[in-house]
Amino acid sequence: MKFKGRDIIDINDFSKEELLYILKTAKRFDPAFVKSDRSNYTIAQGKIVALLFFEPSTRTEQSFRSAAQKIGMGIIGFNDPEATSIHKGETFSDTIRIMDSYADVLIMRHPEALSAKKAAEVAQIPVINAGDGPNQHPTQTMLDLYTMMKEAGKLDGITVALMGDLKYGRTVHALSLALSLFRVKQIFISHPNLAMPDEFLKILKSRKVTYEEYERLPENLEANFLYQTRVQKERFKDLKEYERIKDKFILDSSFKKYLDRGIKLMHPLPRVNEIDPALDSHKNAIYFAQARNGLYIREALLALVLGRINSR
């Protein structure tokens, strides 16, 4: 297993063993597992991370910023490309090449699918994909797996339901692929126009994954986790279609009975109106804890790609 110098672009580039190793490494940064108040700021002291956010973000950008600083890194970059030379017409690959020479790790979010791969082809330093259009969001997937592992104590043998925008949602694409490496039953719940794309279902079939598809939330849903998602307004070509579909999959206070039955509710956030805030205080509504876990995963990933943490 080699992580030093590695790009994190596509969840398919990681084996089950590698994913489990990343989850194990993240535990070293999680106060739930590390009781002593040990500071980690010497781990990557003197290293620089460049954050290139061509698309808005709260959690991913801020948790990477926090993670980098917690392990002692300096930060450069932008979240408003219009305030850079891109505004003057600089090409994507020139921008990447320049940032590559000023930093030790590059973290990029971009509206185009496969843009992270393009950046990695130009950059010498490791590139971490923080979301490439509708395609993937591998570090979100790792924190999702970490959350499931922490809550259920295992991944093999669980059932995960994915709901909402399964067509445009990059989080559910990468998560479904990652779960397919484990013995996990997957349940897809969406409007038919927002169903999980065939290219992903084909992979699941080839990996002999058990999955079911529903057009509404089954009354008797049996699952360890329900992963709710936002309808991705910004990816719709026809906003009228968005308006027609957007409110079809809202979890209102009547969802409490599912939570009472032990189903844990996850969401990558941001939510718009798809989870009623009245559910937030339920112990099985775990989306804020999930977002917090992103910090530990990102500390682990930065330390791993910099080769600053030993394999154990």
The site for ligand NCD (CB under 6 A) is made up of 59-60, 131, 137, 140, 170-171, 230, 268-269
Question: For residues 249 and 263, what is the distance between their CA atoms, to the nearest angstrom?
Answer: 17
**Amino acid at site 54:** F
What minimum distance in Å lies between the beta carbon of 196 and ligand NCD? 16
Q: Is 2 a catalytic residue?
A: no
Q: Based on CB atoms, which residue is closest to ligand NCD, 269 or 303? A: 269
What minimum distance in Å lies between the beta carbon of 232 and ligand NCD? 6
What minimum distance in Å lies between the beta carbon of 35 and ligand NCD? 28
Please state the φ and ψ torsions of residue 279, each to the nearest 5 degrees. Answer: -85, -15
Q: Based on CB atoms, which residue is closest to ligand NCD, 243 or 260? A: 243
Name the residue with tokens 């189903």.
263
Q: Is 87 a catalytic residue?
A: no
What minimum distance in Å lies between the beta carbon of 38 and ligand NCD? 27
Catalytic residue among 137, 173, 264, 298: 137
Q: Based on CB atoms, which residue is closest to ligand NCD, 78 or 100? A: 78
Q: Based on CB atoms, which residue is closest to ligand NCD, 137 or 167? A: 137
Q: Is 60 a catalytic residue?
A: yes
Catalytic residue among 60, 147, 159, 229: 60
Catalytic residue among 24, 27, 59, 235: 59
Q: Based on CB atoms, which residue is closest to ligand NCD, 59 or 256? A: 59
Catalytic residue among 88, 237, 240, 312: 88
What minimum distance in Å lies between the beta carbon of 114 and ligand NCD? 16
Catalytic residue among 6, 70, 109, 170: 109
Active site residues: 59-60, 88, 109, 137
